[in-house]
A and B are shown apart, each in its own frame.
Chain A
């Protein structure tokens, strides 16, 4: 089972190598180099070495020269001449510092030779700047690169008119992560414009410099909208309708009964029982009203708990809005910096 899987994997690697080799061969103009490439693809490493060395004696472009050394490196690695492979790969990275090998697609011997070659040459590789946007003074532009040897590395941002801002200066090796705050010495944001981030690495007599242009633009900082509600909190109804009851009719009976008892109790014996016509009119009206009110839907009454809750919610929203207003005053005085990396020709990447 395992040998079959290995065979399939080897076939896939071979197909991928052939496919990339084919594409590469089409880009190569030099016939000798094309033949060297073909010999390498056909696993004829000695022929590949011979043709590669011959190609290097001819007139080649930079990319072709790098490819010729790469063929030599791969062929030497295949023939177990590691030192020679390392020398060949050193030439590759000196011509094309950004050259990288895919460990999944090249042999481990070639990859390790390439890795050793990288460590023997001072390079600053893979200088990367991501597009970012931040409020001036409250953020920074992340800058990252790789230094292949321990070196003194000075990173600067150079703007129009040769304005020069030191980003970092220190001894670095390997992966380096820096931040550029894009601020002037007085704390203000740098003026809008195009800047070039220059990374200069020095180790004894050796030095290497690479750069990446970026564009800095200014904008206004977004202000925060005022709140009308708090997420997850809603105003509650401030009135509630009590359950229907016989209370109105009971109260009408109580008050009318009180008046009747008072009248009867206060009537003078010598004057005789008075007419109840007047009390009948008013008491009847009161009882009828009480009865109607009993049948009617009760009037909404204030819901004290909800009123208190709403008041607290309003106070909380008002407090938040006060804070937002203060924050907006500050934001209106701030600058939003947007930094975009540019290609070496100046167009955004």
Chain B
């Protein structure tokens, strides 16, 4: 479990490093990087199994002409909420990657990945999926950009097995130039996965997963 988490962090570091290197040569490129804090609400299987928590991580973004990329990694500590049937909390590491291509000044096509691992491994489902969707962005004013995202989570994989024919991921983001190179970045992601399992071949039973994640960060632009 810790090995998986370490792999995720390593992967994020590689992506961030690559983005930083890519940002060096041309003036047209724009790269931001910085820390972020996160709030999370997680539910699984039934309304009784719910957690909430917070965490810290990092985010990096890059833009080159019509191409854009964003990567985020957060380490979350989740505890059972009041009234939850869960008795212990767990830690989770979530890695997200979005790659966008602008098809209009306000619309982009988007692909990406999500990978979330839980520690201890069996306290919650680890998830890996591919994102495919679109994003709409709009400038609210000088240095302020708002974005709305909707992605389909394709080919999801769960640590506890099962499948999900319908999985969606919605997002609301805001990038605000606070001062000079300093950006304030806030992001909301709501994830709904209609997971179904078939324990012992007795027939499929729904074991849905739902997560709300808010990330607030400060980044520095290069």
Mark A residues whose CB is within 8 Å of B.
248, 251-252, 255-256, 258-259, 262-263, 266-268, 270-272, 274-279, 281-283, 285-286, 289-290, 292-294, 296, 298-299
Contacts and interface: CB of A to CB of B under 8 A. Distances in A.
B214 A268 contact: no
Nearest to B141: A293
A298 B140 CA distance: 9
B184 to A, nearest CB: 8
B20 interface: no
A267 B192 contact: yes
A232 B182 CA distance: 45
A268 B194 CA distance: 9
Shortest 10 CB-CB distances between A and B: which pairs? A293-B141, A278-B214, A272-B47, A282-B188, A259-B172, A275-B41, A299-B142, A248-B140, A278-B212, A266-B192
Contacts of B47: 270-272
Interface residues of B, number: 41
A282 B43 contact: no
Given A259-B148, A267-B192, A274-B43, A279 B214 contact: yes
Contacts of B148: 255, 258-259
Contacts of A275: 41, 52, 212
27 contacts: A251-B146, A252-B146, A255-B136, A256-B172, A258-B148, A259-B170, A263-B170, A263-B212, A266-B170, A266-B190, A267-B210, A268-B43, A268-B208, A268-B210, A270-B46, A270-B47, A270-B206, A271-B210, A272-B43, A274-B43, A277-B212, A281-B186, A283-B188, A290-B146, A292-B141, A293-B142, A299-B139
Nearest to A284: B186
B113 interface: no
B140 A279 contact: no
A272 B45 CA distance: 11
Residue picked from A255, A276, A283, most chain B C-beta under 10 Å: A255
Nearest to A272: B47
Contacts of A292: 141
Contact of A289 (B41, B50, B146, B208): B146
B140 A285 contact: no
Contact of B142 (A256, A281, A296): A296
A282 B146 CA distance: 11
Contacts of A277: 39, 41, 52, 212, 214
Contacts of A272: 43, 47, 50
Interface in B97-124: none
A268 B190 CA distance: 12
A274 B39 contact: no
A282 B190 CA distance: 12
A222 B15 CA distance: 65
Residue picked from B45, B138, B168, most chain A C-beta under 10 Å: B138
Given A248-B140, A279-B214, 13 more contacts: A259-B170, A259-B171, A263-B212, A270-B208, A271-B208, A272-B47, A274-B210, A275-B212, A278-B188, A279-B172, A279-B188, A282-B186, A283-B188
B220 interface: no
Residue picked from B41, B44, B142, B144, most chain A C-beta under 10 Å: B144
Contacts of B206: 270
Contacts of A279: 172, 188, 190, 212, 214
